[in-house]
Structure 1
Amino acid sequence: MGMRVKICLGLTLFSIAAVGYAVDRYTLQEVDRIPHQGAYRFTEGLEFYKGYLYEGTGRSFSTALKKIDPDSGEVLMERKVSYLPFHLYFGEGITIYNDQLLQISYKSGKAYFYGLEHFGKVRVRHEGDLFWHNKEFRYSGDGWGLTKNSQHFINSNGSSTLYFRNFKTFEIERTVTVTLDGKEVPGENELEYVDGIIYANLFPKSPLILMIDEKDGKVIGVIDASNLECSQMSGINDVLNGIAYNPAESLFYLTGKNCPYIYKVRFIKQL
């Protein structure tokens, strides 16, 4: 059994502090870092796909999509996709499905598909289908983080619930409640799925990344990212937010809203 980290759940929404219950503890090994560039850096989603990083940003009038060179940080393509007033379209989490990028939104209840070659809105064709489908999904409630496993899209909305949604309809097929020692843990933000584990940033500001079992929502590990500059910025919204996984190198990319860097890291379990 590895070393344990203790974290405590308060009674108020989004609160996690550093005393209380026991879970496995991980630290970061920084392998490299690249500059976090582009006109828009309010990161809401980060993905690694076929050798490139893709970033989705938020805020009114500032929602944009980016394609990034993961070795240099150079922004290879950037397109602003929001021109509407606040809350009508505020981009949030992203994932990539059938070579197309899907981005959910904060308050508008819409998720849009974009082509990777131009970031224009596109129709999507699901595996095994002969026909192309709509360019968007509609859903109820807030949209925060987004990822997927082999069967479902998975999204968060700031509560302690994660939603598993049908690939073709975006309808909810099951949910899990994120818990630690039987207590609910709200505030999951950006998400990344790897081998049965959902990695989640937290909001409000936290230097911790949760490792959540997809089967039952139990927190099985906590990663301490407090040594990164992203975790030490003073702005209330300048938070660690953005997790992507490169399976070829078995490393993660981490960044945050307005963070100056994208970090290449490995998670090291404490013995």
Structure 2
Amino acid sequence: MRIIKSLAVIFLTLNFFSCDEDLSKDFKVLVEGKSKTFTNSEVLKASIKALKDHEVNSVDIKFQGELLKVQLSESFSIDLSQLKLGDHKLDVILDINGEEVKLSETIKILNDDSPKLYTYEIVNTYPHDISAYTQGLEFHADTLYESTGQRGESSLRKVNYKTGEVLKHVELDQFYFGEGLTILNDKIYQLTWQSQEGLVYDLETMDLLSKFAYSESKEGWGLCNDGEQLYKSDGTNKIWILDPESLEEESYIQPTTHKAVLNQMNELEWVEGKIYANTYQKDGVVIIDPKNGAVEGVVDFRGLREKVKQHSNLDVLNGIAYHKSTQRLFVTGKNWNKLFEVKLIEK
């Protein structure tokens, strides 16, 4: 009886280990080239190699929503020119006697072109509330709307940009740290930093209408819109694309140059089909193609901070607003006493 029990235990143990065997180790993704980094002018070429004998029924390749069906050891290629830039998973799904085995490789796609470099010319200077810890800035017609941060001091403001007068002021609950804002379909959307939710207001009354939860993004940084969708940064290398009705994060782009994938994109502004993003703690703004994340330009705003009142609470450049009718760009910073109307000049 003891022998039978022992044999049963051995059988069950062997069966347990066979079921838990990691078959993915028996296969390898072979990517042509010296690395898994490409530019968007290249073609990714690869194949799947079996390191041990297995009966493979099918091989599926998934990359950025596209599906390829190939044979084991058969080479395949992916044209990268129309795909999003950044770090993306190349998933290989093998069917081995009805069991699904998954392999993954991270492929980095860089922009083929280096960004254009810009400097600036100050066109006009306007007063700005020095106590405003600016997080978001956006024009609606000729009126400037501003979101400010710091716990216990966060607010939503309606501002006369020419005089700096705050026309209307809504205080946020002390629980919130205000972040970016944008205006779409007569509603104001305002992010909060680490509370994992955003706020929605009526544009006319500035009454709070509702709140929305974040999903994969855990923080709120910058916000803008293209007239249809919202774009949200969260401090990572992702800019999330939100559905305008549900406000769910549907997809994302990654700001990418010819050398690297960037992170810490802060305040966002939609300017003539491009996303302008302030890089947190940097005196610069990057210009991003919203289709694939390509960084097409970098604006050097060094020297601007020295033109405002110097004081102990003075902080970094943050706040980009585009005035559509004049096609002028306005920038300010956290606790700056000036708002600058600027013209960009290509170096």
1:36 — aligned with what?
128
Distance 2:307 2:343 in 1: 17
2:284 — aligned with what?
208
Distance 1:183 1:230 in 2: 29
Distance 2:117 2:307 in 1: 17
Distance 1:234 1:172 in 2: 39
Measured after TM superposition, the shift of residue 33 of structure 1 is 1.1
Greater RCO, 1 or 2 (C-alpha within 8 Å, sep 6+) = 1
CA distance 1:235–1:144, shift in 2 (3 Å): farther
Q: Which of 296, 302, 305 lines up with 1:220 in the alignment?
A: 296
The percent identity for this pair of structures is 34
> What does 1:165-180 align with in structure 2 at a 5 Å threshold?
165-180=242-257
CA distance 1:28–1:111, shift in 2 (3 Å): same
Q: Any conservation in 2 of the 1:144–1:155 contact (CA below 8 Å)?
A: yes
SS in 2 for 1:211: strand
Distance 1:255 1:138 in 2: 29
SS in 2 for 1:119: coil
SS in 2 for 1:180: coil
1:181 — aligned with what?
258
Q: Any conservation in 2 of the 1:36–1:261 contact (CA below 8 Å)?
A: yes
| CA displacement, residues 71-104 of structure 1 (integer Å, 9 cap, x when unaligned) | 22221112212222xxxx1111000011121101
Measured after TM superposition, the shift of residue 230 of structure 1 is 6.3
Q: Which amino acid aligns with 1:98?
A: N
CA distance 1:235–1:173, shift in 2 (3 Å): farther
More off after superposition, 232-241 vs 146-155:
232-241
Unaligned runs of 5+ in 1: 1-20, 123-134
> What does 1:4-153 align with in structure 2 at a 5 Å threshold?
22-37=114-129, 40-84=131-175, 89-122=176-209, 135-140=210-215, 141-153=218-230
1:265 and 2:342 are equivalent in the alignment: yes
Distance 2:306 2:252 in 1: 30
Q: Which amino acid aligns with 1:90?
A: F
Q: Any conservation in 1 of the 2:137–2:319 contact (CA below 8 Å)?
A: yes
| CA displacement, residues 246-266 of structure 1 (integer Å, 9 cap, x when unaligned) | 011110110111111111111
Q: Which amino acid aligns with 1:106?
A: W
| CA displacement, residues 190-211 of structure 1 (integer Å, 9 cap, x when unaligned) | 00012221101111x1111101
Q: Which amino acid aligns with 2:134?
A: T
Q: Report the TM-score when normalising by structure 1.
A: 0.80
Q: Give the greater-gyration-radius structure (CA).
A: 2
2:44 — aligned with what?
none
Q: Which amino acid aligns with 1:111?
A: G
Q: Any conservation in 2 of the 1:231–1:240 contact (CA below 8 Å)?
A: no
Measured after TM superposition, the shift of residue 236 of structure 1 is 8.9
Distance 1:198 1:231 in 2: 26
Measured after TM superposition, the shift of residue 234 of structure 1 is 8.0
Higher percent of residues as helix: 2
Unaligned runs of 5+ in 2: 1-112
Q: Which amino acid aligns with 2:145?
A: Y
Measured after TM superposition, the shift of residue 58 of structure 1 is 0.8
Q: Any conservation in 2 of the 1:207–1:231 contact (CA below 8 Å)?
A: no
Q: Any conservation in 1 of the 2:186–2:204 contact (CA below 8 Å)?
A: no
| CA displacement, residues 112-154 of structure 1 (integer Å, 9 cap, x when unaligned) | 11123342202xxxxxxxxxxxx12111311100001133110
Q: Report the TM-score when normalising by structure 2.
A: 0.63
